[in-house]
Amino acid sequence: MNRTPRTTLKRLPKRGSYDRNVINQILDEGFICHVGFVSDGQPIVIPTGYARVEDELIIHGSQASRMLRNVGKGIQVCVTVTLIDGLVLARSAFHHSMNYRSVVILGNASVVEDREEKIGALLALSEHMIPGRWKDVREPNEAELQQTTVLSLPITEASAKIRTGPPLDDEGDYDLPVWAGVIPLRMVADEPIPDPRLPSEITTPSYVSDYDRRSK
């Protein structure tokens, strides 16, 4: 992992990490990233799904997407993945915080042109979002492949930032009669909602009924 001046954390460096395993773990648990790019001088930030394939971050979308057309030109991008783990309640307003894990990747994306590579990337995206799904679905046909743009961003200039644990109050505030601690937050899956047009004899696969991001 290249630690560059641009990804070197300036503040609270104890919260920063350049460890590839830490970065990969965050990327593999999340599935939504925010892609930042510049268009006519204006920064634009767009949410989208992603997958990690070894040292590459893969995103995809319609060929007609303004974001993908811009980013596919190889311009500089920033991709940020954020997992929120909890609200941190201190005794003072000032020391309230959040527990979170985030990754920032800087670089230049490129279009995946090779047909086999493209299908492999779409499979990876599907399996990253819903492990076990790909074997059941109708795979993309030629027209769909043409309509889909797949971009790859090398994960070389990247850093993670993590906050965990209880609040850290000023020593003099610990005597205040105020509740302090953490409200843990996490994303859960509720009961699946079958498509109204789904025949009743089709049973719910376990990758749907047991969906859990944390089991990644």
Under the binding rule (CB under 8 A), the answer on residue 159 touching a second copy is no
CB of 176 to a second copy, least distance (A): 6
Under the binding rule (CB under 8 A), the answer on residue 4 touching a second copy is no
CB of 140 to a second copy, least distance (A): 5
Under the binding rule (CB under 8 A), the answer on residue 62 touching a second copy is yes
Name, in order, each residue with C-beta under 8 angstroms of 43's C-beta and a sequence gap of 6 or more. 36, 37
Name, in order, each residue with C-beta under 8 angstroms of 15's C-beta and a sequence gap of 6 or more. 9, 161, 162, 163
Rounded Cα–Cα distance for residues 111 and 143 (Å): 17
Burial class (CB in 10 A: 0-12, 13-18, 19+), 6: exposed
Identity of the residue, 114 or 136, whose beta carbon is nearer to a second copy in the bound complex: 136
Smallest CA-to-CA distance from 181 within 85, 86, 84, 83 is with: 86
Under the binding rule (CB under 8 A), the answer on residue 129 touching a second copy is yes
Residues 27-56 as x/- pattern, contact with a second copy by CB under 8 A: -----x-xxxxx--xxxxxxx-x-------
CB of 11 to a second copy, least distance (A): 5
Under the binding rule (CB under 8 A), the answer on residue 200 touching a second copy is no
CB of 125 to a second copy, least distance (A): 9
Q: Which stretch binds a second copy (CB under 8 A): 16-24, 51-59, 109-117, 122-130?
A: 122-130
Size of interface with a second copy, in residues (CB under 8 A): 91
Residue of 137, 142, 214, 215 interacting with a second copy (CB under 8 A): 137
The H or E element that residue 127 is part of is: helix 115-129
Under the binding rule (CB under 8 A), the answer on residue 64 touching a second copy is yes
Under the binding rule (CB under 8 A), the answer on residue 98 touching a second copy is yes
Rounded Cα–Cα distance for residues 143 and 147 (Å): 6
Q: Which stretch binds a second copy (CB under 8 A): 19-27, 50-58, 109-117, 204-212?
A: 204-212
Under the binding rule (CB under 8 A), the answer on residue 177 touching a second copy is yes
Total residue count of the chain as it appears in this document: 216
Identity of the residue, 98 or 111, whose beta carbon is nearer to a second copy in the bound complex: 98
Q: What is the amino acid identity at position 117?
A: E
Residues 138-173: b if buried by 16+ CB within 10 A, e if exposed: eeeeeeeeeebbbbbbebebbbbbbbeeebebeeee
Residue of 66, 73, 115, 216 interacting with a second copy (CB under 8 A): 66
